[in-house]
Amino acid sequence: MLKKQFAHLYSVLGQIAIGQRTNCKPYSVGQAKTLVCQSTMLLFVSCVLNQSLYAALPGTPIVAAPLPQIGSKDVTTVDLPIVRPKTKSCTVELFAEREFEGEKKHAITYNPPKGCAGPWAKVVLEADLNVSTGQQYDRTGRIILGGVNIFTGTTAEPTPTHTPHWHIERDLTDYSALLQNPVQGEAELINQVTETLNGRIRWSARLVFYSVDKNNPAPNPADLVFSLSKAPVLLNPASPSLKETVHLPRNMTRLMLDILAMPQQRDEFWYMCMPRRDNIADVTVEDRTCGFPFRQTEVYIDGMLAGIAPVFPWIYTGGLYPALWKQIPGIETLDLSPYRVDLTPFAGHLNDGKPHRIELASIGARGSMVTTGTLLVWRDAARKVVPGKLTQQSINPLEVNIERPVPLDSKGLGEAVTKANQTLKLTGYVDTSRGRITTQINQTMSFSNTFTQAPKGIKIDQTVMSTSQFLEKSPTGSRRHEITEQFPLFVQRGESGEGEARQYDYDVKQGLIRDENMSGQQKLNRQTRFSVSANTVIVPDEKGVFNREHSSTTQAHLQIHDNTAGCYDRMITSQNATITAVTENCKITMQNNSK
């Protein structure tokens, strides 16, 4: 039954199996060159704007992870495992388990699997990490292949008595073109080990390739995958943009850009900023304040706004207070997802054979936004040149306003409400071998952050809302794909009691709300509700230093409802870094994919 559902899903999306790749030619981005092989069929694919595990297309079957054990102290999440076909698989080891210490990167030599020639039905990156007992900060791990960022995540923090270990899975099927040929790469995880920071981090990673068969055809990966920069770029007030000149093929039919903007240094807690300026124009490069609590990446093509990507309010495992995340991390903390922007309306504009400038501009950065951009290109194998044009660009430019219901006093106390809004509408066409394909992209963003600074505490109430619509008209009909996402965040830190009874407390709620609808031959929809809530009470030790938690509770809850795949509802509760409850309130519509 599952195989039939996959086949039907491909039909709904207008996807067909990829044929053999021929006519390989080099293309360049700046000084970097890559070999791209053109597929023998013309394919179209719906856009997926956020590449997290929670962003599977409507109709994708739901497979539950094993239930965690009550009493376990292992790192635990409610993440869904990646759905894999029951076909022949081959594993390529990127690197065996090894310790990462200091700043030295580990070189990777990748070769395609010998026993599973492409095209592939699925490609999955797997990684396993652990940190020895002791004390260590959260660290950032990153894997680069052929200049392309295929994984970025942060680590769990250990305790003096427990070694955290965890498993990562990432679907890389869209990046199959990158993996068709041998490439060099590297793994980076900077970990400084001292007498105090004595936690040692070990890491292994591999790629698993699944062959196609008649019931598991290859989906529609891009024909060309490349990075806009050789390495992640640190964007800051003095250098807020990543700019690159690209030389692209002239027969593009669709192109996407995966953007990952990881907040670091002063930007790690960008949402906890009490703006000192009433006008954002006064926040200059020389300004030493935190600026304002809003972050976003804007995409420009030849100086024209082409897309917007919100920054998710990630909280790393050392964020706010480590006891909050000792067992259950925040949303996407261990595996940060890029945000996918559809640039297809610009395909005709970019098919003119001229060099073009692509720019990623960081809005609001005050410390460092570690940014990568990966371009994915689909081509028409039946035409060397696909003419087209950008026919409409309608913009309501970004507006960021700051209101003060409670004016800021000399002690920094008060309340500020920061709001932002922006809309973008793009339309373009390409005249393919199948006829004219017209694509319209509508993006809407709204943002609100209320920051309250009181004498004995702070409170942040924030939400980001983003809506993206994809509309396509072709000789075979019309398709529509709409995604609405919200990223609510609530943080409250308080102080109570006097003398020996004095204590601090944190209350944190983080959310990801996603509604996705697709229409074509069949209407598909999927709703996702993901939340992590954590609270802890901090009391002084025998020396009066506030570095000991009295109690901590963290809860993760994931709900998914799909009109064809069924539903999923799992909640996990941890108290003092021990699993105390696991509940499931919805039966998954299970199917057997062995038939």
The model's confidence at residue 55, banded by pLDDT at 50, 70 and 90, is low
- pLDDT for 26 equals 43
CB 413 within 8 A of CB 455: yes
- CA neighbor of 371 nearest in space, from 239, 462, 494: 239
CB atoms within 10 A of CB 241: 14
Q: Is pLDDT above 70 for 23?
A: no
Residue 60 confidence class, pLDDT cut points 50, 70, 90: confident
| pLDDT for position 564 | 87
Strands 339-342 and 414-432: unpaired
In the chain, domain spans: 2-87+212-588
Does 205 have pLDDT greater than 60? yes
Check pLDDT > 50 for residue 6.
Answer: no
pLDDT range class, residue 58, cuts 50, 70, 90: confident
Question: Is pLDDT above 90 for 41?
Answer: no
CA–CA dist 210, 578 (Å, integer)? 36
pLDDT average, residue stretch 550-561: 94
* Cα-based angle 538, 409, 286 (whole degrees, multiple of 5): 90
- Per-residue pLDDT for 299 more than 50? yes
Single out the residue of 41, 58, 173 nearest to residue 521, CA to CA. 58
Determine the pLDDT at residue 304: 98
Compute the distance between CA of residue 236 and CA of residue 53 in angstroms, rounded to an integer. 29
Question: Residue 344's closest CA among 303, 310, 286, 386?
Answer: 386
Look at 120-124, 471-475, 565-569 and tell me which has the smallest mean pLDDT.
565-569
Burial of 560 from C-beta contacts in 10 A (0-12 / 13-18 / 19+): buried
Residue 47, pLDDT score? 38
Q: Is the pLDDT of residue 589 over 50?
A: no
Coil, strand, or helix at residue 585? strand
> How do residues 333-352 score in pLDDT, each as one tens digit?
999 999 999 999 999 999 99
Measured CA to CA, the distance from residue 336 to residue 370 in angstroms comes to 12
Token pair for residue 310? 């919100």
Tokens representing residue 384 in the block: 């060397």
For residue range 338-396, list pLDDT tens digits in order: 999 999 999 999 999 999 999 999 999 999 999 999 999 999 999 999 999 999 999 99
User: What pLDDT is recorded for position 115?
Assistant: 87
pLDDT of residue 54: 55
Mean pLDDT of 59-81: 91
Q: What is the mean pLDDT of the chain?
A: 89
